Amino acid sequence: MARNLDLTALRAFVAVVDAGGVTRAAGLLNLTQSAVSMQIKRLEEGLGVELFLRAARRLSVTAEGEQLLGYARRMLELNDAALERMGLAAFEGEIRLGVPHDIVYPAIPAVLKRLAGQFPRLRVNLASSFTMLLRDGFARGDFDIILTTEDRPGPEGEVLSRQNLVWIGAQDGAAATRRPLRLAFKDTCIFRPLAQGALDRAGLPWETALEGDSEQAAEAMVAADLAISARIEGRCPPGTAEVTGQGLPDLGSLSICLYAAPTARGEAIETMLSELRLAYGGTARAEAA
């Protein structure tokens, strides 16, 4: 009797290899760790070989696992291609996207609208948070794709562009002229240490006007002319404006970076990645030209 390999188990095997571990693979596959481990165990028992060296400090693939990996990738590609060709896949499923709140507008709504028109049965779950939290979630496998604003990307990141960081205050406000300067940043905001460091180097006194994790509260403090903050140039919240002059130090620039999980594949994923590169990568393309 012919024996058949379980494609679900093969997909779990490839995900564990690409993700570098069961924990992250489970997140990327939307499964529990025990479910992924069970699929790997079932695959090993069916083949009568060990696919991973479990005694090693870092997860590594055995020689038999290396042999299977190439076949597994080809089988999954053929499976997915056949479903797409027959119209059975229709790009169903889910893409989990994470974007820092301050760069969601104006690009993301347009990107998601175009994607929905091309792949109407695809679900996109959008999370808006701060770069540090998005990076943590990406490492756990909580996201398929994230954008970040950071000075230098991690090894999995792709720099799309460099953007200036600017001071913001209330429209026609005076908070930037007061000393000590009052700063409104959420505790986990990546712009906070950059702004504080720039003021320290310039010898300008400052104090914190906000504590906690409410971005809405920070924006309200700025709009009420009770504090200043920092944002990517051209992305001021309602009721605020870029503050120029006033003796404030230059804040430099940050990279907008793109991260895609190793298991994120397929036409819908590639389309979203292309859309994000187009929407956020203008500066990067200009520098490369």
Same domain flag for 31 and 126: no
- Angle between the N-to-C axes of helices 7-19 and 33-47, in degrees from 0 to 180, rounded to the nearest 10: 120
| Residue 228 DSSP code | B
Same domain flag for 14 and 68: yes
How far apart are the C-alpha atoms of 162 and 150, rounded to whole Å? 10
pLDDT of residue 135: 94
Range of the domain at 135: 91-289
**Stated length of the chain:** 289
Q: What three-state secondary structure class fits 161?
A: strand
33 within a domain of the structure (yes/no): yes
Give me the helices (H) in 20-96, please: 22-29, 33-47, 63-85
Count of the separate structural domains present in the chain: 2
Asked whether the beta carbons of 197 and 251 are under 8 A apart, the reply is: no
Same domain flag for 145 and 217: yes
pLDDT of residue 87: 62
Degrees, nearest 5: CA angle 95-100-106: 85
Same domain flag for 131 and 227: yes
29 within a domain of the structure (yes/no): yes
1 within a domain of the structure (yes/no): no
Same domain flag for 134 and 175: yes
How far apart are the C-alpha atoms of 86 and 41, rounded to whole Å? 32
Q: What three-state secondary structure class fits 55?
A: coil
pLDDT of residue 288: 36
Residues 6+ apart with CB under 8 A from 188: 130, 132, 133, 213
Same domain flag for 173 and 210: yes
2 within a domain of the structure (yes/no): no
Any idea what the CATH number is for the domain that residue 263 is in? 3.40.190.290
How far apart are the C-alpha atoms of 68 and 64, rounded to whole Å? 6
Query: Per the structure block, which two tokens stand in for 2?
Result: 């012919």
Query: Per the structure block, which two tokens stand in for 287?
Result: 């520098």
* pLDDT < 50: residue spans in the chain: 283-289
pLDDT of residue 56: 60
Same domain flag for 154 and 212: yes
pLDDT, tens digit, 9 for 90 and up, residues 21-35: 888 888 878 788 888
Same domain flag for 168 and 274: yes
Same domain flag for 203 and 118: yes
Query: Per the structure block, which two tokens stand in for 69?
Result: 């990996």
Last residue in a domain, options 62, 85, 108: 85
Same domain flag for 279 and 209: yes
Residues 6+ apart with CB under 8 A from 139: 24
| DSSP, residue by residue, 3-18 | ----HHHHHHHHHHHH
Degrees, nearest 5: CA angle 216-219-225: 140
Last residue in a domain, options 20, 50, 85: 85
Q: What three-state secondary structure class fits 151?
A: coil
**CA 169 to centroid of chain Cα atoms:** 28
Same domain flag for 130 and 252: yes
pLDDT, tens digit, 9 for 90 and up, residues 92-124: 678 999 999 889 988 999 999 998 888 888 889
* Reported pTM: 0.72
Q: Is the dihedral of CA 118, 124, 127, 130 positive or negative?
A: negative
Same domain flag for 41 and 101: no
How far apart are the C-alpha atoms of 88 and 99, rounded to whole Å? 30
Asked whether the beta carbons of 194 and 230 are under 8 A apart, the reply is: yes
Last residue in a domain, options 85, 118, 147: 85
Any idea what the CATH number is for the domain that residue 77 is in? 1.10.10.10
pLDDT of residue 283: 43
